[in-house]
Amino acid sequence: MDASSWRFLLGKTKVDGVIGGPPCQGFSRIGKNDRSDPRRTLVGHFFRTVNLLLPTFFVMENVEGLLDSGNREALDLAINTLPESYTVLAPMVVDASKFGAPTRRKRVIVIGYQKSNMDPVLEKDIMSIQVPPTNVRQAIRDLPHPTEGKQGENEYGWAKYATGNVSTYARKMRRTPPKGLGTPLACDMLANNRVSGCFVTKHSESVVERFRRTRPGKTEPISRYPRLDWLGLCPTLRAGTGSDRGNFQAMRPLHPEQPRVITVREAARLQGFPDWFLFHKTKHHSFRMIGNSVSPIMAEKMLGIIKERFFSNTEPRTHQARATIE
């Protein structure tokens, strides 16, 4: 969008923050790292948008490969377009597991703010966050066994929670959302002890046997799917590709105990999504959404610090404008 379009949409409203994750495929270490990939230019467009809106702060997320030689130059060039009123922290590599998420997921975070409008945010404020780790058992043990998703009747894969002990992490995930968040359907189902995304994935007998032989913490040699360990962390969940890139499905880890891949809800729990979050009706799209996401647990911790510094130098406001680039 250009400046006139933003002015039309926002009028005189001041934008407090721009938060975005430009597409990472052009910088990913597991991809082709194609320098001609047009998606690489969207890092520059993120900062172009910051220049147009001049928010009090911005947060940008991307993969570690953005800092590799040949890629870092694109980031530095984009950052250098910002006015001197911004303080920009050096790019930080953060791991979601350090923030309490039950997954190893490293990402590059770039934070900037207008020093005249909010109190300082320092690199140590973010990098010193250390939350006790959450393991796979604590994350998904209370979730239901997979259920048959039926069009219309059970198209979201609803199932009742399992009985038994519920971890502190799971209790947090099972809470009803703050007012204004969550769909009425999801909230009603949670109130009735049911959760979505529990679709079954059917495997052939030979695949089931291969999965059964794979020990927790090891990788199944043919599918290359890792088997989760109850006491370990989940590896990075990847998104797969869209129809324009071959339509390859996302990598789905194997359940620690059952000879199957994890469900959408188990993946969401491992990434840090609360149970009231309703994903797409189709498993393929749901796994892509989760694999493309930033862990909400990590986001909550980092944005909590920014919020604190923002309001320490600003009068609290009832309504704030938000601009998000996905």
The domain in which residue 9 lies consists of 3-132+295-325
| Distance, CA of 312 to CA of 305 (rounded, Å) | 11
Q: Which residue has the higher pLDDT, 85 or 27?
A: 85
**pLDDT confidence tier of residue 214, bands split at 50, 70 and 90:** very high
Closest C-alpha among 221, 241, 292, 234 to residue 262 = 234
Provide the pLDDT for residue 63. Answer: 87
The answer to whether residue 41 is domain-embedded is yes
Scanning the structure block, which residue is given the tokens 């920009």? 88
pTM above 0.85, yes or no: yes
pLDDT tens digit string along 58-76? 999 988 888 888 889 989 9
Task: Answer whether residue 238 is part of any domain.
Answer: no
**Residue 289 is assigned to a structural domain of this protein:** no
Who contacts 53 (Cβ-Cβ below 8 Å, separation ≥6)?
A: 6, 10, 15, 18, 323
Bridge partners of 106, per DSSP, are 95
284 membership: H or E segment, kind and range:
helix 283-291
pLDDT bin (cut points 50, 70, 90) of residue 326 is very low
Please, what is the average pLDDT of the chain?
88
Q: List Cβ neighbours of 43 (8 Å cut-off, separation of 6 or more).
A: 22, 60, 62, 66, 74, 75, 78
> Could you tell me if residue 248 is inside a domain?
no
pLDDT given for residue 249 in this prediction: 61
Q: What is the pLDDT, as a whole number, of residue 4?
A: 85
Choose, from 24, 187, 198, 234, the residue flagged as catalytic. 24
- The total number of structural domains in the chain stands at 1
For residue 287, the model assigns a pLDDT of 93
Q: Which residues have CB under 8 Å from 52's CB, separation 6+?
A: 1, 2, 3, 6
| Residue 256 is assigned to a structural domain of this protein | no
Reply yes or no on whether 187 is catalytic.
Answer: no
Q: Retrieve residue 16's tokens.
A: 């407090």
Q: Domain for residue 193, yes or no?
A: no
- Does residue 270 lie within any of the structural domains? no
Q: How far apart are CA 7 and CA 44, in angstroms?
A: 20
3-state secondary structure string across 4-28: HHHHHHHCCCCEEEEEECCCCCCCC
282, part of any domain: no
Domain harbouring 124, CATH code: 3.40.50.150
Instruction: Point out the least confidently predicted range of 32-46, 98-112, 212-226, 278-292.
Output: 32-46
